[in-house]
Amino acid sequence: MLRFFLLLLLLGAPAALPAPRHRRGAAPPTGTYLTRYLRQQVDHFGFDEDLTFQQRYLIADQYWRRDNGPILFYTGNEGDITWFCNNTGFMWDVAEELNAMLVFAEHRYYGESLPFGNESFSDSKHLNYLTSEQALADFAVLIEYLKTTTAGARYSPVIAIGGSYGGMLAAWFRMKYPHVVVGALAASAPIWQFGDLVPCGTYFSIVTNDFRKSGTGCAESIRNSWNAINNLSLTDAGLQWLSNTFLLCSPLKSPQDAVLMKNWLSETWVNLAMVNYPYKADFLQPLPAWPIQEACKFLKDPSLPDKLLLQNVFQAVNLYYNYSGAVPCLDMSETATKNLGQMGWYYQACTEMVMPMCTDGVNDMFEPQKWDFDVLSEECYRLWRVRPRPSWILSMYGGKNISSHSNIIFSNGGLDPWSAGGVTQNISDSLVAIVIPDGAHHLDLRSRNPLDPKSVQQARALEICYMKQWIKEARHSH
């Protein structure tokens, strides 16, 4: 879901699918784990085919109490599970305190868990089993397998934990399989970014506010940069100037290339908003603490002439792509880690993960772009020969009608654009919203850090308190 923004770009830029991303650095291992595999049904909901595949999962039981101690189960999302394992330090931090086993389950069609090997993305027939429902069924089968094959785990209470799309899965897992997991921590989970549940422009308004609050003239400079690029892209000399100024690996050859450049810049600003962490981090790219503030130091004067303005924009962008100083040129096909499986997510966003988004250029710093489902549908049909079903997620998981469920924590960061579609107010005593004003994208799931704002420290403490309560209640039921 970190890659969802590119689906919006498809509406304005035909054939905008990028090449695979290249990882600039890996997060250090958080803890010691074992890598294992479980044979899963390709189709849990039909009986005509009996195809299977190997689902990868990671397990760490060094802190687990072997008489039905709890299991913290990470509901893997759109990427390599080892990357999510290494970026979810919260689970490692609390494992000893809770005497918990940690399990990180890889989502089908991502990482090594490919149902049809190299053919998994060859066509829509092979991709037909890439759905959230099938993934949740994988998780349920895996937990049952662990409970029946691991001595001392038969009555272990299981808590689902996930961030972003994984957070959505954690919440939906508790809703659909309450007999399997006793509760869920859904961090930065935009379960309401569907249909007309939330305004389509809120996401980009939050991004803009992050930049506006981080420096005078910053958001305005970015808003003015689009016309500056448009003006320069009218001539070959202007395109060459843009290519040289932004140190592009592949020079711009046409106005259409300039459109792709604007899309690339837009995604860069969005990514900065998601990873606006209070300390140096290497999640999507190696970045300094509070990277938006650092970027905004270059964007103080929106009234500058086109070339001077764009030279400043380059400095801000270069901070994101070349903070290490080791990158010889900027590749517009690279915006984040290759550990995210963008092809799989494109397909999901073209089928059931239809999240309306739009910009107006007034309440946000981006060029106006209406949400146009018909254009999206045609683009998805061109790419995959499938049509999106925009209301299916609402039918499957209930939209805002979820008050009958229980034991779910929805945490959202005030700086995170995905909070636009998140649950930010309590629904009941056990459907609890935790808002972290100083938090970016699932900051609470990252490892503890001395530079953590007090708001995220308090959020984690409250999350642990709820988890202990769920564990206690589960033990009393057996």
The residues annotated as belonging to the active site are: 164, 416, 441
Which ranges in 13-88 belong to alpha helices (H)?
A: 81-86
Cα separation, 189 vs 203, whole angstroms = 13
Distances from the Cα of 450 to the Cα of 188, 287, 441, 456, angstroms: 22, 17, 18, 11
Q: Show the tokens assigned to 217.
A: 């003239």
CA proximity to 406, closest of 171, 68, 243 = 171
CA proximity to 439, closest of 90, 98, 197, 192 = 90
Cα separation, 311 vs 454, whole angstroms = 37
Cα separation, 75 vs 55, whole angstroms = 13
What torsion, rounded to 10 degrees, do the Cα atoms 191, 197, 198, 201 define? 100
Query: Which residues, other chains included, contact 450 with Cβ-Cβ below 8 Å and sequence gap of 6+?
Result: none
Backbone angles phi, psi at 264, to 5 degrees: -60, -45
- For 120-195, list the strands marked E by DSSP: 158-163, 183-187
Please report how the helices 236-245 and 255-274 are oriented relative to each other, as an axis angle in degrees rounded to 10. 30
Sheet holding 431-436, edge to edge: 34-41, 52-60, 101-105, 71-75, 158-163, 183-187, 408-413, 431-436
> Residues in the chain, how many?
478
Distances from the Cα of 224 to the Cα of 53, 74, 78, 474, angstroms: 50, 42, 34, 56
In terms of DSSP bridges, do strands 431-436 and 408-413 run parallel, antiparallel, or are they unpaired?
Answer: parallel
Query: Which residues, other chains included, contact 457 with Cβ-Cβ below 8 Å and sequence gap of 6+?
Result: 448
